[in-house]
Chains A and B, each alone.
Chain A
C-alpha cells in the first residue's frame, strides 16, 4: 500500500501551477506537511507507519526542492505542459548567448590564472544578476505568453548559467586550497 504520489507538486502545496510562486506560502506548506509526515514523528511507531512516513517525507522533499529552485520549477512546469526541455539533446543556442558564454569562460580562466579570487567573486555577482534577468524572462514566457518552446530554450540557457556558477565556485575553491 503506497500513498498517492500522483498529485502534482503544485497541488501538493496548494499553489497555482505557475512559475511565479509565493515562497513564503510554499515554505509554510512544506513545513506543515513535513511536520505531519516526517520520520521523526514516527520513530516509535510500527514498521508500516515508518515506511510510509519515509516515502511521504521523501516525496515532500522532492516536490519542495523541485518548486523551490527556479530551474527545476520551470522544467517541471514545462513537463506538466507536455514540453521536454531536451537539455541533453538540444544544444543549439542563439549565437549572441554562445559568444557571451565564451567571454564568461575566458574571464574565469584569466582570473584563475592570475590567482585572483576577488575577480572570481565579482564574476559570480555579475552572473547572479544575469541569472535573475533570465528568471524574469522565464516568468513572462511561462506565466503570461505561455510560449513553451521559448521557455524551454530559456531553461537550457539557465542551465548553462548554473554550470558556469559551479565552475566559478570550483575555481574559487581551487585557489583557496
Chain B
C-alpha cells in the first residue's frame, strides 16, 4: 500500500498549480512572447499595448541599451550602434554574411561567430539577442506576475547546429530556462492544426524577415509528424527590401551612400514593399544627407519583376522538401502561410500556383509562431494531462565527418526524426598512429569545404597498431532541440577513450559568466547572489519533479527505497534555503543520482503500458 504523502508547509509541490511558461518567437524583424491563459494562447503586450517588439538593439556610450521601438527609431541616426536583424548573424562567420560591406556595422571576425564593435564594446550576436529575450522575459514576468518556469524558443527549421546553439546560449544569457527549441513551422502547425482540427498532409510556408522554411507535416490523431523540411536561413523580407533599395540606387543614379542615408533608403524600401501589398504602386521620396533627393514610383508589376528571382529561391527548397517527403504538390491538403513576408501578393500567387490551391491565411502570420510556441510551452511545463499531442520533428541538414581527401561521410541524413543517434567506425591509416583528428560537419555537399564546420577535436591515446587495426567508434547524438553531441571511443584493445565534444561556437560556462559580468545590468548584481538564486530555482524545480514522480509512481519503490529518496529530498530541501551554492549543487547532484534507478523503472513501465495498453485483438490481426 502506498503511503499517504504530506507536503512540508510552504514547500508544497502543489501538483496542479499552473506553472508560468511562455513561447518566444525570436524573429529577424520582430519578436513576440505569448502564453496560455485560461486555455487560450495569447500574445503578451508591453505597457503601451504593443505585441510586436522590433528586434532592434541600440548600445549607448554609457553602457545603457535600448531595445525595440526606441532603438528602431534611432537606427538612421545611430546606425553603427543600432543592431537590426541580428538573427542573420547568429552562429555565422563574417564570410557567411552576404552584403557585409554594405551594412553599417563594424564586424569583428571572431572564431566561430562574427562579433560587432559598438560604442559599448564588442558584442556577440548572442549577447544582442539576449537583450531582446531579456526584455520579453521581463515583459512576461511583469504581466504574469511571477517567475517563469521556462520558455519555448522558436528557431527556423533550417537553422543548423551553430545557429541553434547560439539561440539557446542567448536564452541562457537572458536568464531563461529553455524547455525546448521548437522549429517555427512546427510551432505554426501546432497553432493551426489544433485550431482547425486538421488531418492530412500540410505544408507550412514560412517566409520571415530573414529566413525561409518549408516544412511538410502529416497531422493525424494528435500527432504532428514532420516528413521533411527545407529552406534557406539567409532569405527573407530583408532581401526584398535590399532589392528595392538597389533599384532605388539605380533609378535615382545615386553615388555610394553613407550609413545614415543607406539606412534611410532601406527603411523607405521596406515601406514601399509593405505599401505594395495592398496598392498598385508606391511613391518613394527622400531627402538625403548627401544633398540629393529621391522621388520615384515603384509599381507592383515592377516590384514583382525585380524580386522574381527571390520568389524562385523559395520554390526550389519547396520542391526539395516535397521530394524528400516522397509527395507531389497535389497530395498536400493545405498550405499554411507564416511570416510577415508571405503578405506579398507575388509570394501568395507563386505558392498558390505551385500547389494548385489558395494558400491558408486565416492565422495572423506575424503571431502564429509565438502562439504555437506558447501552446507547446504550456504542455512542456507540465500544465496538461496525459492525452496530449506529440510533435515528431526532424533535423534539417545531414551531419557527417571528414574522411580522407576532404570528403564527407554522412552519419545522420537530413530529415531524420529526432532524437536520433548513429554510430560509425573509423580506423587509422598509418602504422603506429596514436591519435586521430575528427572534423564534424553539417550540410548536403560531398566536399568538407562546402559544408559547415561544427567541431574539430582530437582523439588521443590510441594504442600503436598496424594501419587499419584500430576501431574508433564515433557516435552522433542529436537531442530533441536538434542539437548535436559527439562521443568517440577506441575499442579494439579494450582501452577506451571517450571524448564529448561541444561544437566550437557554443559558449562555455566561463564565457556565459563573463558576458553576464560584462553586461551593465548584471554588473550591479552580485554574481554569487545570482548563482545562488539559480541553484535555488533549480533545486525547487528538481524537488517538484521528484515529488510529482513519487505521487504518480511511488508504488514502483519499496519502503527503504522510498525512504532513501525522501532523505535525499529532505537534505536538498534543507540546504536550498540555508546553504551556499556549492552545497546546494552537491545535494542536487546527489538527488539526481539517487533517483536514476527509479527513473529507469518508471520509463520501463511507461513503455510496457504503451505496449500492453493497446488492444490485444489488434496484435492478433497483425499476425494473420
State in angstroms the CA–CA spacing of A33 and B599 once bound together.
16
Q: Is the CB of A29 within 8 A of B419?
A: no
Given known A-B contacts A46-B545, A58-B420, A14 and B611 have beta carbons under 8 A apart: yes
Given known A-B contacts A40-B379, A46-B599, A52-B603, A29 and B390 have beta carbons under 8 A apart: no
Q: Is B479 an interface position by the 8 A CB rule?
A: yes
Interface size on B, residues (CB 8 A): 59
> Which residues of chain A (29-51) have a CB below 8 Å from chain B?
29, 31-40, 43-49
What B residues does A46 contact at CB under 8 A?
Answer: 542, 545-546, 549, 591-592, 595, 599
What A residues does B407 contact at CB under 8 A?
Answer: none
What A residues does B597 contact at CB under 8 A?
Answer: 1
Q: Is B602 an interface position by the 8 A CB rule?
A: yes
For B479, B541, B607, which residue has the most chain A Cβ atoms within 10 angstroms?
A: B607
9-residue interface stretch from A75-83, A103-111, A133-141, A169-177: A169-177
Output the nearest chain B residue to A49 by Cβ-Cβ distance.
B599
Q: Is the CB of B610 within 8 A of A33?
A: yes
Q: Is A65 an interface position by the 8 A CB rule?
A: yes
Interface size on A, residues (CB 8 A): 44
Name A49's contact: one of B223, B479, B602 (CB within 8 Å). Answer: B602
Q: Is the CB of B479 within 8 A of A40?
A: no
State in angstroms the CA–CA spacing of A5 and B96 once bound together.
42
What is the distance, in angstroms, from B511's C-beta to the closest C-beta of chain A? 22
Given known A-B contacts A44-B149, A65-B416, A35 and B595 have beta carbons under 8 A apart: no
Q: Is A57 an interface position by the 8 A CB rule?
A: yes
Q: Is the CB of A43 within 8 A of B381?
A: yes
What is the distance, in angstroms, from B324's C-beta to the closest C-beta of chain A? 9
Name A44's contact: one of B381, B611, B618 (CB within 8 Å). Answer: B381
What is the distance, in angstroms, from A59's C-beta to the closest C-beta of chain B? 8
Q: Is the CB of A44 within 8 A of B19?
A: yes
Given known A-B contacts A44-B545, A177-B316, A15 and B622 have beta carbons under 8 A apart: yes
Q: Is the CB of A62 within 8 A of B421?
A: yes
Output the nearest chain A residue to B615 by Cβ-Cβ distance.
A28
Q: Is the CB of A169 within 8 A of B600?
A: no
Output the nearest chain A residue to B179 by Cβ-Cβ distance.
A43
Q: Is the CB of A52 within 8 A of B614?
A: no
Contact mask for chain A residues 10-30; partner B; CB cutoff 8 A; 1 contact, 0 none? 001011100000100100110
Name B residues whose Cβ lies closer than 8 Å to a Cβ of A: 19, 149-150, 179-180, 221, 223, 316, 319-320, 323, 376, 379-382, 388, 390-392, 416-421, 477, 479-480, 541-542, 544-546, 549, 591-593, 595-600, 602-604, 606-607, 609-611, 613-614, 618-619, 621-623
